[in-house]
Amino acid sequence: MYRKVLVPTDLSSYAHKVQDCLAVIPGIEEIVLLHILDASNPKDLEAKGWSWDSLIDQAKTRLEEQADHLFNQAGKKLDIKTILKVIIEPMSGADGVNLERPKTGSGVDLVDGGSVGQAISKAAAEENVSLICMGAQGKGLMESMLLGSVSTEVLRQGDEDLLIIRHKILPGGKGEMQENLCQNIFSKVMLTTDFSSAGGEAVARIKEMSGIQEILLVNVIERDDEFDEAAARLNQLREELAAPGRKVTVHVLQGRPSQKILALAMKQDVSLIMMSSQGKSWSRQIRVGSTTFDAVRQAESPVLVVRPGKK
């Protein structure tokens, strides 16, 4: 289903952990490992005696190390491609800073301006991937930070399905990983739906997945009189998703959607939350709805966000 996957990495230990999840993605055959080096404001770095050439060389080395790790961890044959993009400003080096434009070379692509999130989305389109897989946080991770700025930008602006992986962190602020949440990630899946055409994309996607042992079908209603219709539609969907050895349960909740979804996910200890990026009132101009955005920001489990019209 997700044959070609883009994996942005900031080369942190957190990003390294995320890559351990890739082998379990259904249908994966090719990984594009992407690192974005932001050279758009080099003045401070140059003042410290650093050079872009040295940073680029270091990034290349670490990117190849992560590619080797991926290849060894996959447990099956995967094609792995590495891409290094360097964001620069056309007029970098002004104000008396003796600065040369970073040199192009093998495996280096210069990007004139923009943000890291924009560079990731552009790379996803260029490589024609079907999924972006990334961590909830990056190098500046904090326990209190619910979703990193780059992950947030890709969630808001991206066109591809997005798998956000979150790891629990040991107390004390040292950034050590307490638990890898990738184990059996597709074993117990919560599928949320509002029965809209956009929500139907997530339903279609889960029908293509194999190996799911349990599915929780969830709809959140606003009023009591909506219960019977919601239950009937979820039960119909349960019949469509039934398979030998698979348990499918129906859950009609009432209240604020993101809060109810996350509370049930925690109570049932689901391995993955799967939801559409938009709801009933979605438009192409709004790439992620408020319920999905709030759920992704606060979820303690991995979340798969399905984009309308993407496969």
3-state SS string over the chain?
A: CCCEEEEECCCCHHHHHHHHHHHHCCCCCEEEEEEEEECCCCHHHHHCCCCHHHHHHHHHHHHHHHHHHHHHHCCCCCEEEEEEEEEECCCCCCCCCCCCCCCCECCEEEEECCCHHHHHHHHHHHHCCCEEEEECCCCCCCCCCCCCHHHHHHHHHCCCEEEEECCEECCCCCCCEEECCCCCCCCEEEEECCCCHHHHHHHHHHHCCCCCCEEEEEEEECCHHHHHHHHHHHHHHHHHHCCCCCEEEEEEEECCHHHHHHHHHHHHCCCEEEEECCCCCCECCECCCHHHHHHHHHCCCCEEEECCCCC
Average pLDDT over residues 101-118: 78
Average pLDDT over residues 164-181: 54
pLDDT above 60: residue 297 = yes
pTM for the predicted model, two decimal places: 0.86
pLDDT above 60: residue 180 = no
Q: What pLDDT does 13 receive?
A: 75
What are the tens digits of pLDDT across the range 260-271?
A: 999 999 999 999
pLDDT above 90: residue 147 = no
Tell the CATH topology of 188-302: Rossmann fold (3.40.50)
Q: Tell me what percent of the residues of the chain surpass a pLDDT of 90.
A: 40
pLDDT above 80: residue 152 = yes
Q: What pLDDT does 170 receive?
A: 38
Same fold, 4-179 and 188-302: yes
Q: Where are the domains of the chain?
A: 4-179, 188-302
CATH H-level, domain 4-179: superfamily? HUPs (3.40.50.620)
